[in-house]
Structure 1
Amino acid sequence: MKTTLISSLLAYFTALISISGCSTTPQPPNSERLKRSYALVSVIENGTIVYQEGAPSNIKPGYGQFSLDLSVPPTVRYRISDGTSGTDLTTFVGSYRLQNDNTLILEGLNPQPTGTNGTITFTISDLIDGTSVTLTRTTSDPKTGNSMNVYKLRG
C-alpha cells in the first residue's frame, strides 16, 4: 500500500514538473512583429482579385510598385497608386500606431491620401513574423472607386 502511494506521488510530481518545465515563450506584441518593410503579394477590391504578384496579367498592374515601411516606428512610408497604371504613384509619410494589437492606424500622412483627412486604418490578420500579413482597409478607398480593399503583404 505504501509502495503504491509513494509510486503514485512520485508519478504525480514528475508529471507536474514536466508540465511546468515546458512553458512556451510568450509571443511578442504585434507592434514588434510588424516592424519591417512590406511588398505586395495580392490585392482584392470588393471581392475581386485585381493584382497578384507574378501573375502574367493583372487587372491593376500598377499595384506592383506598392510598399509599406513600418521598420522605423513610429514613422510610416506608404507608397501606393490607384493600381491602374502606376503613373499616379505617391509616397505618403506619417506615423503609425496599433490599437488593441489588431488595428493598424496610419496617421498624419503627407500628402493626405484622397478622402482620408490623413488617416487610413486597417484590420490586421494572418500575421506571420517576418513573412506575411493581411491588412483589410476599414473604410472604402476613393482612389479605387470606393472599393473595400484587402492587401496581402510579404516582409
Structure 2
Amino acid sequence: MPSNIKEQVHQHYGNKIRVRTCGVIIQDGKILMLKHDGIGKKDYFWNVPGGGLEKGESLISGLKREFQEETGLKIKVKKLLYLNQYIVSPLHAIEYYFEVEKITGNAELGHDPEEILVLSQLSWFSRSDFENLDKDCKPNFLLKYLNFD
C-alpha cells in the first residue's frame, strides 16, 4: 500500500478517466467547499461536494448520495451549471457541476466510502474568502458562473 495520501489517490484514481458529479450550494452568501488532500499541484484542492458514479447510477442520484455521504445534507438537484475537465496527471476527471438546494440536515464533514481518507475539512466560503484561496487549489471557474449574493 502506498505510504502517503497523494500516492494512494494516484493509485486509486489515476491513469483513467473518471466521471464526477458535483453540487454547488450557496447559503447565506457562502459556498460550501471540502478540502481534498493528495490532489492537485500543491497536494490539496478545495472543491464542492461530489464524487464518482457507481455503475448504473445517474448523475442526479450519484450527486444526492455523494452529498449526503460527504456533508450529511439531503439536497434537491437543480440546473446544470458547468461541465469541467480536471486534468492534473495522472488524474483526469470529467465533472458535472449542478446547482443544489438543501432540503434537510446540518453540514458536517462526512467521508468518502473508499478506503482513502481524502476529505479533511468542510468550510463555508464568502466570495472574498474564495477569491483568497490559492488559484491552483480551487475550481476557479466557479466565480465566473456563480452569484454569491
TM over 0.5: no
The higher-RCO structure (CA 8 Å, 6+ apart) is: 2
Bigger radius of gyration among the two: 1
**TM class by smaller structure:** under 0.3
Q: TM-score, normalised by structure 1?
A: 0.27
Relative to the length of structure 2, the TM-score reads 0.28
